[in-house]
Amino acid sequence: MSGTAYIALGGNLGNVEQTMRQAIGRLRESENVDVVNCSGLYCTSPIGTQAGDNFLNAVACVQTSLSPEELLSLCQEIENKLGRVREIHWGPRHIDLDLIAYDDLIIHSAALSLPHPACWYRRFVLDPMTEIAPEWLHPQRKTTVVELLTRLLNRPLILDLSCCDSTFIASTVNMLKTAFTSQELSIVTGNEKDNSEQPTWKILEQTMPQWESSEIVSRMKLTHLSAPTEQALIDMIRSAIDAPQRLADFE
């Protein structure tokens, strides 16, 4: 078996650029992995209340004879050798190697989800991946990386909450208006006239239809968030709105 995989690299502790170069070097040292390409180095805002300082991010493309599970294991082994400590979810870290995609495989297991569940909206993944693989097609959303990124560039980003519980809508609208400006985010609740533009996301309750259909509007079930909370929704939107800054060529 041989396949093409995409690995997102990031970190915000210590000399991150050096650590990321070491991670790429260790991937190259594996006889089963060939690093084909790597994006530039991006500076991104921290996501989450405990994330710490700004992150550096990049995405690498590799050819490998390893299975997805074996490649994930290799990435975790490299993380551990380079000082990764898993204490706080979305917390500060020396290095992070996330397996984003492997060919067009769709995998949902206890150990691995492919494509990465959040890769379709996180700018710190989409921006560098667009640089090296703009035409990679998300196998579930049937949309290329560059198309996914383009959907996030309109301002304000439009969030449709009209399918949610009225109590959730009331509290969430106030919270979102505090977290984001009207230039960043526009909220549709169903109580106002139809917005003239397509919403970027339609937020769905657990019992609603599947999050993606033939429409251009992306669905997001609350249960697809890392935790179905208001803060998780803020973090998701922030990771889609904040534009990474390209610093330099990485390789």
Per the document, the length of the chain is 251
Give the residue from 126, 128, 122 showing the smallest Cα distance to 40.
128
**Confidence at residue 222, expressed as pLDDT on a 0 to 100 scale:** 60
**Which phi and psi angles does 150 have, rounded to 5°?**
-60, -35
- Looking at the structure, do residues 125 and 21 belong to the same domain, yes or no? yes
Give the residue from 14, 58, 55, 60 showing the smallest Cα distance to 37.
60
Q: Domain for residue 39, yes or no?
A: yes
The reply to whether 194 belongs to the active site is: no
> 21, 28, 53, 98: which is the annotated catalytic residue?
98
Give the residue from 4, 5, 191 showing the smallest Cα distance to 97.
5
- Looking at the structure, do residues 232 and 174 belong to the same domain, yes or no? yes
**Confidence at residue 250, expressed as pLDDT on a 0 to 100 scale:** 77
The reply to whether 98 belongs to the active site is: yes
- Looking at the structure, do residues 116 and 189 belong to the same domain, yes or no? no
Q: Which value, in Å, is the radius of gyration of the alpha carbons in the chain?
A: 18
Instruction: Give tens-digit pLDDT for 51-81.
Output: 678 899 999 999 999 999 999 999 999 998 8
Report the number of distinct structural domains present in the chain: 2
Average pLDDT over residues 27-33: 94
Structural domain of residue 26, as residue ranges? Answer: 3-139
pLDDT band (50, 70, 90) for residue 216 = low
Q: Domain for residue 198, yes or no?
A: yes
- Looking at the structure, do residues 186 and 115 belong to the same domain, yes or no? no
pLDDT band (50, 70, 90) for residue 199 = confident
Q: What is the DSSP string of 34-69?
A: EEEEE--EEEE---STT--S-EEEEEEEEEESS-HH
- Looking at the structure, do residues 131 and 163 belong to the same domain, yes or no? no
Is 87 a residue whose pLDDT tops 80?
A: no
**Confidence at residue 227, expressed as pLDDT on a 0 to 100 scale:** 52
E runs forming strands in 163-228: 185-188, 201-204, 218-221
- Looking at the structure, do residues 169 and 127 belong to the same domain, yes or no? no
> 21, 28, 86, 96: which is the annotated catalytic residue?
96
CB atoms within 10 A of CB 23: 25
Q: Domain for residue 247, yes or no?
A: no
Q: Pick from 81, 113, 139: which residue ends a domain?
A: 139
